[in-house]
């Protein structure tokens, strides 16, 4: 009889995970998913009040987590904060923002604000966590919550699309460089997910109709749709996956 293969474990027991942008939405969902898989989770965000509420909700669900004040726009401060911490085996960066508007009307200040959060902050957070892993001689999984807009264009989203396309680019390059260290680097590309930050889009009937028409499965996304993808990319179940985007877009980019 042949030896049967066994599915690699999705468990994360004994691993440390950092989730940035963890106080709500996809970031909070990622923190829950990692904690459910047994990881020791550090939840990072800028806003202390919302972060404390998220930590309390986690604790009430039997999912302990540690809060961490972190502003990715302040790269020097972020580096200093993480320098004194043990290395993280898993990073999920869900921190980001958008200021949508016509490309003809983009102001320099808005461009810089979105770029600092979505690109500059994401790049240097991945670099900082990877440096810790390399110094410790440990493998790891670095995940950035990108977007379907990292692969296509969108109305009033020129700056946002620019940052997400750039995230997809540095993910591929980092995966090539850090592969020899056993560090995997991937993105998750959600479609429109219902969160407090996206509610303004769904409140606009014209925009909601545009979104629903583009999603082949016929519905917008929920935070829960992202959680399995996070567990997969963080765990040994994806041990040979790096430098790629896991699309959770309901078929938006299939065209």
Residues that are catalytic: 160
- Per DSSP, the residues of 197-231 read TTHHHHTSHHHHHHHHHH-TTSS-B-THHHHHHHH
C-alpha closest to that of 176 among 85, 106, 243, 79: 243
CB 231 within 8 A of CB 37: yes
Q: Provide the 10 A C-beta neighbour count for residue 78.
A: 19
3-state secondary structure at position 122: helix
97 Cβ contact list (under 8 Å, min separation 6): 113, 114, 117, 118, 197
Token match 């390059």: residue?
173
Q: Computed over its alpha carbons, how large is the radius of gyration of the chain?
A: 18
């Amino acid at each position: 009889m042949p030896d049967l293969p066994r599915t690699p474990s999705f468990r994360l027991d004994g691993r440390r995970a950092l989730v940035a942008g963890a106080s709500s939405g996809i970031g909070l969902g990622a923190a829950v998913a990692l904690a459910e898989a047994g990881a020791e989770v550090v939840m990072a965000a800028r806003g202390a009040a919302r972060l404390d509420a998220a930590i309390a909700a986690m604790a009430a669900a039997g999912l302990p987590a540690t809060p961490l004040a972190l502003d990715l726009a302040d790269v020097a401060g972020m580096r200093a904060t993480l320098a004194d911490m043990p290395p993280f085996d898993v990073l999920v960066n869900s921190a980001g923002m958008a200021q949508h508007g016509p490309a003809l009307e983009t102001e320099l200040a808005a461009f810089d604000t979105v770029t600092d959060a979505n690109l500059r902050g994401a790049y240097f957070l991945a670099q900082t966590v990877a440096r810790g892993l390399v110094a410790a001689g440990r493998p790891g999984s670095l995940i950035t919550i990108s977007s379907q807009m990292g692969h296509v264009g969108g109305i009033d989203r020129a700056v946002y699309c620019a940052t997400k396309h750039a995230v997809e680019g540095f993910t591929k390059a980092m995966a090539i460089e850090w592969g020899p260290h056993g560090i995997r680097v991937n993105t998750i590309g959600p479609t429109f997910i219902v969160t407090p930050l996206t509610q303004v889009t769904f409140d606009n009937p014209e925009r909601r109709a545009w979104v629903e028409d583009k999603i082949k499965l016929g519905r917008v996304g929920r935070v829960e749709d992202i959680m399995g993808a996070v567990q997969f990319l963080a765990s040994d179940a994806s041990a040979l996956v790096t430098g790629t985007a896991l699309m959770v877009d309901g078929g938006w980019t299939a065209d």
